Amino acid sequence: MRTALVNGRVLLPSGLRDDCCVVIGDGEIRALSSEPPADAMVVDLGGRLLLPGFIDTQVNGGGGALFNDDPSVETIRTIATTHARYGTTGLLPTLISDDLAVVERGIRAVDAAIEAGIPGVLGIHIEGPFLNALRRGIHSEGKLRPLKDEYLDLLTSARHGKTLITLAPECATPAQIRHLVGKGVIVAAGHSDAPYETVRAAIEGGLSGFTHLFNAMSQLANRAPGMVGAALEDDSTFAGIIADGHHLHPATLRVAARAKGAHRLMLVTDAMPSVGTDSPSFMLQGREIWRDGDTLHGADGVLAGSTLTMAGALKGMIEQGRVSLRDAAAMASATPAAFLGLEGSTGIIAPGMRADLVLIDRAFVVHETWIGGRARDAR
């Protein structure tokens, strides 16, 4: 049976519509109409906002589970189910720097999760261990290493979904980046002290993204543009950004939005196990991480991911970044879909697209999430 979503404020690519009925069936958006079909089950949206489902390319954990701790199907299920409560309809479970045996287990777990049909799993994000120790953030220095050619087969071994790798360009070569991209891997730069020229060489080698822009990377200076300068200048690359009010000053969000635009800047959470729980702390590779309000930090005060949800990121980008709902929603949906090469199937509300949808109110509280047309009660 088809389902007709009525009485909502629907965000279409052309803007908000108050008179639009969204008809979904067989996992897809079947039609946009003024009236529900006679044979459809009608769902009243109560005047709330219906947006494209959120896509998060950097999710370390949620619901008390951390992907690094147990790279398994059940961990992925817990993380995906938790984030679906906050409007995330697609995500990449993310491994921070670890032993290559853990990376291999993570790849196999994501393959198995996709084969098992766990809703919302789009692939894997391998963030490290090919990072610069000077910009490691909360990553363990003992796990870091340069990228070697002998690792390339492992990094390109996923059978399903998308593989995103974050590396420091100074820890790899343009030829290695070109090889990864040629095998279908998406390569992003992060946790790097690379100069502008090294970043440009990586972009020419196929690097197409930047991980948590401004954080853990060489900064923009007057005669040394660094990674930040390369990211802001380049029109072809995408950049993730953490709009939680802690990782970045609001003015920095606004600079990023103006430089990259809504079609190249994408919201990410960098979420940790604390999302969806009240736990005051958790263990990360033998180190205790404490929660202080909405921030997470280790004993040295270094930020350790976030407690952010995609609904919270949307709110932060609108209120602090001062962008429109339409642009913020694109940063949460259409833009990450394009970054992953999925713009033909998800990221906007249009006939023929997957029925990945989120219903929120004016306070950015999520009331319902649909993944492939299946509702997941968020209340």
- In order, the DSSP letters of 69-105 are T--SHHHHHHHHHHHHTTTEEEEEEEEES--HHHHHH
What is the reported pLDDT for 59? 98
More confident residue, 349 or 378: 349
pLDDT one-digit tens code per residue, 209-220: 999 999 999 999
Average pLDDT, the chain: 96
CB-based contacts of 172, cutoff 8 Å, min separation 6: 130, 146, 147, 202
What is the reported pLDDT for 377? 61
What DSSP state is assigned to residue 253? H
Sketch the domain layout of the chain as residue ranges.
3-50+351-377, 53-339
CB of 212 closer than 8 Å to CB of 242: yes
Share of the chain above pLDDT 90, in %: 96
What is the reported pLDDT for 1? 82
State how beta strands 281-284 and 88-96 pair.
unpaired
| pLDDT band for position 119 (cuts 50, 70, 90) | very high
Cα distances from 203 to residues 195, 215, 238, 348, in angstroms, run 13, 19, 11, 28
C-beta neighbour count of 42 within 10 angstroms: 12
pLDDT one-digit tens code per residue, 311-342: 999 999 999 999 999 999 999 999 999 999 99
Compute the average pLDDT of residues 228-254: 97
What CA–CA distance (Å, rounded) separates 287 from 28? 44
Compute the average pLDDT of residues 138-145: 95
pLDDT beyond 60 at 378: no
pLDDT one-digit tens code per residue, 53-110: 999 999 999 999 999 999 999 999 999 999 999 999 999 999 999 999 999 999 999 9
What CA–CA distance (Å, rounded) separates 317 from 332? 10
The residues pairing with 153 across neighbouring beta strands, listed in sequence order, are none
Q: Which of 270, 300, 356, 361 is catalytic?
A: 270
Fold for 3-50+351-377, please state it: Urease, subunit C; domain 1 (2.30.40)
CB-based contacts of 257, cutoff 8 Å, min separation 6: 265, 317, 321, 322, 323, 327
pLDDT beyond 80 at 176: yes
What is the reported pLDDT for 379? 37
Q: What are phi and psi of 132, to 5 degrees?
A: -90, 125
| pLDDT band for position 252 (cuts 50, 70, 90) | very high
CB of 266 closer than 8 Å to CB of 336: yes
pLDDT beyond 80 at 20: yes
Compute the average pLDDT of residues 343-371: 97
What CA–CA distance (Å, rounded) separates 263 from 31? 25
DSSP string, 179-234: HHHHTT-EEEE-SB---HHHHHHHHHTT--EESSTTTTBPPP-SS--HHHHHHHH-
CB of 308 closer than 8 Å to CB of 270: yes
Asked: is 53-339 a CATH 3.20.20.70 domain? The reply is no
Using DSSP's 3-state secondary structure scheme, residue 275 falls into coil
Is residue 270 flagged as an active site residue? yes
